[in-house]
Amino acid sequence: MRLLSALSLVAPLVVVVGCSPAAPPAPTTPPAAAAQVKANLNQVMRGILFPNSNIIFDAQDTDPGAPPAPAAAGASPYAGTYGGWEAVENASMALAEAANLIALPGRVCNNNKPVPLDDPVYQKGLQALRDVAQLSYETAKAKKFDAMLDVADKVTQACSTCHDVFRDRVVDGKPIGMADRCTKG
């Protein structure tokens, strides 16, 4: 009798559990979107690298931690919500991320020639940019105003690695034109 009683209690549970919907499948992570190249190298340089390098260059002469002069406050990269040393930190990280952007396959120069991604000089310049971006970030994080002169010099050297070979060459006493950029001379 007890067995029959126990079975009469368990049987409805088995039916309920058996009819319950299965646990929902674990959510799947959507595949990462492929990187899309939208701008040419010149546009990335002018839109990201140039303005952010200028913040680092300015930090060699102007202490980002000092309050800006009232007359210049509106134009100071160090004024505002993300100003001061944080502006230098952010500029440094923008340079680091820009190194990733200019290393994307499919990017072209302003003259529609492919960026020389496989060239050892270009790779050396990318690594120099990444290294100096990290150095600049660490220097800004530590608020080492006296060290920014050395950082700015290293930014110039990193940029020159590629510019001297692919952009600022002189041929027959004349600077190369746009059509000859992104190629070695």
Q: How confident is the model at residue 82 (pLDDT cuts 50, 70, 90)?
A: confident
Q: Where are the alpha helices (DSSP H) in 20-147?
A: 41-44, 50-58, 85-101, 120-141
What average pLDDT does range 158-169 have in this prediction?
94
Structure-token pair, residue 28? 């799947």
**What is the value of pTM for the model shown?**
0.79
**Residues contacting residue 56 through CB under 8 Å, at least 6 positions apart:** 88, 91, 92, 95, 136, 148, 151, 152, 155
Place of tokens 């006493």: 173
Q: Rounded to the nearest 5°, which phi and psi values hold at 170?
A: -120, 130
Q: Would you say 145 and 63 are in contact if contact means Cβ atoms under 8 Å apart?
A: yes
User: Lowest-confidence range among 61-75, 99-113, 166-180?
Assistant: 61-75
- Within 13 A of 135's CA, how many CA atoms are on the CB side? 17
